[in-house]
A and B are shown apart, each in its own frame.
Chain A
Amino acid sequence: MSTDILNSEYKYGFFTEIETEVFPKGLSEEIVRMISAKKNEPEWLLDYRLKAFRHWKTLKHPKWAKLNIPDIDYEDLYYYSAPKKKITPAGSLDEIDPELLATFAKLGIPLNEQKRISGVAVDAVFDSVSVATTHKVELEKVGVIFCSISEAVKERPELVKKYLGTVVPYSDNFYAALNAAVFSDGSFVYIPKGVKCPLDLSTYFRINAKETGQFERTLIIAEDNSFVNYLEGCTAPQRDENQLHAAIVELIAHDNAEIKYSTVQNWYAGDKKGIGGIYNFVTKRGNCLGVNSKISWTQVEAGSAITWKYPSCNLIGDGSEGAFYSVALTNNFMQADTGTKMVHIGKNTKSTIISKGISAEQSENNYRGLVKIMPSASGARNYSQCDSMLIGDKAQANTFPYIDVKNNTAVVEHEASTSKISEEQLFYLKSRGLSEEKCISMIVNGFCKDVFKELPLEFSVEAVKLIEMKLENSIG
């Protein structure tokens, strides 16, 4: 049974009682081996995990972000938790625990054939495993592979082996090493040459189990002249303990390929006093490998107690383009240190950064971004715009833009602003009959408009609602 915790602010805060298989707490080579064995992984992947684990043991928690991260006891976490009932192979949902189907339906993600969302294929990830992927048959017709990464390791090991860790090596950072050692599932997407993916692809991440970390890994490969629109959503139960989510997303775009990656992140953010919430420590990066390839990251970060996340692009192919559109909202005691890295390597590469940070109550919202123009990147262009909005007197916003230009033909533009919702703006709108909450949501939505318009329509509607809901009780 699903139990509703009375909560008007976070409607996804419920917990699903379900029979699960859990590995013992703590992190050791043994646990890494167990995860790998559970998935019948090939030797090379186990080796990869072990190398990552050994490397992770040499690393220290990074301190450079402007975040106050309490010590995390990595020995006191579960690294694998999965629903006991057999996960079904492609197509059939008959064997899935009905509780799981009910859970996803409640989250607005119906998985069964009759009710599923048309036009969007969904991979549903519950704690450590992918439980279902919809529309697989339709996608296979055009050669698109959309499945869990565990399945991909079995079915298309050559592709996984070729690309896994090539964009984000396990040595990249502390959380990347941790993820590479213990990742349990995630989504895999392969778009063959010349295919414009007929459906939007989407992964929905749900954390359910207590004291469990979620370490998923997503790998998307777009071959020459292909296109895919990928959406990602996340929620978790409301609890007093913090939970760790450390994911890796790797994108690869070949010649003239385009990947649009959108996220609406609504992990549980903790309560008004700052108790509980998800630690969202994510490494997302795309390689624009091919000429004229394009990758865009659009994110609406509205949840999590702490967010540490920098979706980035390596612009390797000549004429390739990277974009980062972000709205990060922090409220109560939330902290966010988020931004992007745009590394220009190929000639005539172009990047666009539009970041909108909104902070309310005692929260702290930091933009951190790097624009790096390598000596090889003649004719590179970057445009960055970083705007912060403060609501109330207690919130903080900071902008840390780093610009590193090693080619003098580059054109780099940076604009930044910090604003406060002024008493005059509020009074103006109120004097037209709009309630204070409506006024603030209108001002905030206007502020975020340049980012929201990059989202697919249904996501954009959801994003507007989410921002309104998050601000509902922060005013007055």
Chain B
Amino acid sequence: MIEIKNLHASIDANGETKEILKGINLSVKAGEVHAIMGPNGSGKSTLSKIIAGHPAFNVTEGSITFKINAKDRNLFELEADERAKSGIFLGFQYPVEIPGVTNFTFLHEAFNETCKFNGAPEMNASDFRKFLAPKLELLEMNESFLDRPVNTGFSGGEKKKNEILQMAVLNPRLALLDETDSGLDIDALKIVAKGVNALKSRYNATILVTHYQRLLDYIVPDHVHVLYQGQIIRSGGKELAFELEEKGYEWVIKEFEEKNLTRS
């Protein structure tokens, strides 16, 4: 579904160019759940933002292809909104507040724009409200959520649930969930995980970006990758996550550095 090859990316900050990703290779197929783990500052969030089309990063090398209508498309040719409408969803680590715009209006517009783009019929407001009801229920959200301004004054947990609600509405083929577990208490985490699991199918894929193993108790990954200093330094099955939980990242990093030393 998505193929990332030798991806290098940098960001310009304070007049300096800082390389963040240094040759990422990753392939995700429909029906799979991948977890990308790694210490802070390893480039996890950057990777998901680049896939979604954040304009702040410069891709200096490499490629990302994404299957759209059974064809491999160069993702860099698409704007962020086109990527979204083509089935890529980014669940934000820090969802952004949009004062004065109700959640309902926002969801409704986003849904209809996506329908329009894909040649599907749009939905009027009252049908859309009905369409939302079971999704709200799944995430144990009150209907009053819809009439509040987007993320404005939401608690951390509410914001994260709201991200999953958007995901449920847009029904993406590839969901990138960036630190969706951060700031959640255990009850909220369970609800969010329940939502994500309910949306899984053999047609879509999920990439979980997380610092801790905690989330992976509830959303079980097929593949786990460790990102360190802009590179995937180790990949494995779900057992790798448990190993990391037990031993921390140091041993993987150490092994990686030793390997590098012997190479040079």
Contact = CB atoms under 8 A, between A and B. Distances in A.
Interface in B55-99: 55-56, 79-81, 83-85, 89-90, 92, 95-96, 98-99
A427 B80 contact: yes
A420 interface: no
B106 A432 contact: yes
Nearest to A427: B54
B134 to A, nearest CB: 20
A445 B101 contact: yes
A428 B53 contact: no
Kindly list the 6 A-B residue pairs having the minimum CB-CB distance in the complex, ordered from nearest. Answer: A446-B100, A446-B101, A428-B96, A449-B100, A433-B84, A430-B80
Nearest to A424: B96
A442 B106 contact: yes
7 contacts: A425-B96, A427-B53, A433-B84, A434-B109, A442-B98, A442-B106, A446-B99
Given A443-B98, A447-B100, A449-B100, A431 B113 contact: no
B82 to A, nearest CB: 8
Contacts of B105: 442
Interface of A: 422-425, 427-436, 438-439, 442-443, 445-450
A433 B170 contact: yes
Contacts of A422: 96
Contact of A433 (B54, B55, B95, B113): B113
B110 interface: yes
B169 to A, nearest CB: 9
A300 to B, nearest CB: 15
B38 to A, nearest CB: 22
B170 A432 contact: yes
Contacts of B89: 431
A442 B110 CA distance: 11
Contacts of A439: 81
Interface in B206-239: none
A433 B85 contact: yes
B113 A435 contact: yes
Contact of B84 (A430, A442, A449): A430
Contacts of B98: 425, 428-429, 442-443, 446
Nearest to B79: A430
Interface in B19-65: 52-56
Contacts of A429: 98, 106
Contacts of B96: 422, 424-425, 427-428
Contacts of A445: 100-101
B117 interface: yes
B113 to A, nearest CB: 5
Given A434-B81, A448-B100, A449-B100, 12 more contacts: A427-B54, A428-B95, A430-B79, A431-B81, A431-B89, A432-B84, A432-B106, A432-B110, A439-B81, A442-B101, A442-B106, A445-B100
Nearest to B113: A433
Given A431-B84, A434-B109, A423 B56 contact: yes
A442 B109 contact: yes
Contacts of A434: 81, 109-110, 113
A435 B81 CA distance: 6
A302 B92 CA distance: 35
Nearest to A429: B98
Given A442-B98, A448-B100, A449-B100, A431 B106 contact: no
B114 interface: yes
A189 to B, nearest CB: 33
Nearest to B97: A425
Contacts of B156: none
A430 B109 contact: no
B10 to A, nearest CB: 17
A215 B80 CA distance: 49
For A431, A443, A446, which residue has the most chain B Cβ atoms within 10 angstroms?
A431
Contacts of B180: none
Contacts of B100: 445-450
B149 interface: yes
B109 A438 contact: yes
Contacts of B117: 433
Interface in B133-167: 149, 166
B110 A433 contact: yes
A448 B101 CA distance: 10
A442 to B, nearest CB: 5
Contacts of B92: 428, 431
A457 B220 CA distance: 51
Contacts of B114: 433
B56 A431 contact: no
Contacts of B84: 430-433
Nearest to B115: A433
A434 B79 CA distance: 10
B109 A447 contact: no
B113 A438 contact: yes
Nearest to B109: A434
Contacts of B95: 428
B101 A423 contact: no
A433 B81 CA distance: 4
Nearest to A449: B100
B55 A447 contact: no
A355 to B, nearest CB: 15
A302 B97 CA distance: 26
A253 B263 CA distance: 88
A267 to B, nearest CB: 26
A434 to B, nearest CB: 6
A430 B101 contact: no
Nearest to B90: A431
B101 A436 contact: no
B151 to A, nearest CB: 9
Given A427-B54, A432-B106, A433-B114, A446 B149 contact: yes
Contact of A432 (B54, B55, B166): B166
A449 B110 CA distance: 19
A445 B99 CA distance: 9
B81 to A, nearest CB: 4
Given A423-B55, A438-B113, A442-B109, A430 B81 contact: yes
